[in-house]
């Protein structure tokens, strides 16, 4: 019997550019600690659909966890720009908070 990760991989073969499936797969990989693969899938989402706003927060947090703070700041900033462009004020607030909190932690 397939586990959730295996099911998502099979589903992705059928829907190669479905960002929701890719996002779900990235989150499952993150859960099991496969940080590098999760990052690759998050970046794939940005390539396929840069307006998929949720990816910026999750990728930024994953990069923070992986001690890639400068990359996380870049991703948050990209997400902030997209949120502004799309008038997504909820996402904008979350991304700005993540960006500012990380800057404070880094003492920039």
Q: What is the pLDDT of residues 47-104, one digit of tens each?
A: 999 999 999 999 999 999 999 999 999 999 999 999 999 999 999 999 999 999 999 9
Query: Range of 47's domain?
Result: 4-106
pLDDT score, position 5: 85
Threshold 0.75, pTM exceeds: yes
Mean pLDDT for the stretch of residues 28-46: 97
Mean pLDDT for the stretch of residues 13-41: 95
Q: Residue 98's domain is classified under what CATH number?
A: 1.25.40.10
DSSP conformation class of 80: H
Helices (H), 1-108: 4-14, 19-31, 35-48, 54-65, 69-85, 89-106
Please state the domain count of the chain.
Answer: 1
pLDDT score, position 105: 94
Cα distances (angstroms) measured from residue 55 to each of 10, 22, 66, 80, 88: 21, 10, 16, 12, 14
What's the length of the chain?
Answer: 108
**Predicted confidence band at 107 (pLDDT cuts at 50, 70, 90)?**
confident
pLDDT score, position 102: 97
């Amino acid at each position: 019997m397939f586990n959730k990760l295996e099911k998502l991989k099979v589903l992705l073969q059928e829907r190669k550019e479905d960002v929701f499936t890719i996002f779900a797969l990235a989150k499952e990989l993150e859960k099991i600690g496969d940080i590098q693969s999760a990052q690759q899938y998050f970046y794939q989402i940005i390539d396929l659909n840069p307006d998929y706003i949720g990816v910026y927060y999750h990728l930024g947090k994953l990069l923070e966890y992986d001690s890639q703070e400068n990359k996380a700041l870049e991703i948050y900033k990209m997400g902030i720009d997209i949120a502004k462009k799309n008038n997504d004020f909820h996402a904008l607030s979350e991304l700005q908070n993540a960006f500012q909190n990380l800057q404070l932690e880094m003492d920039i």
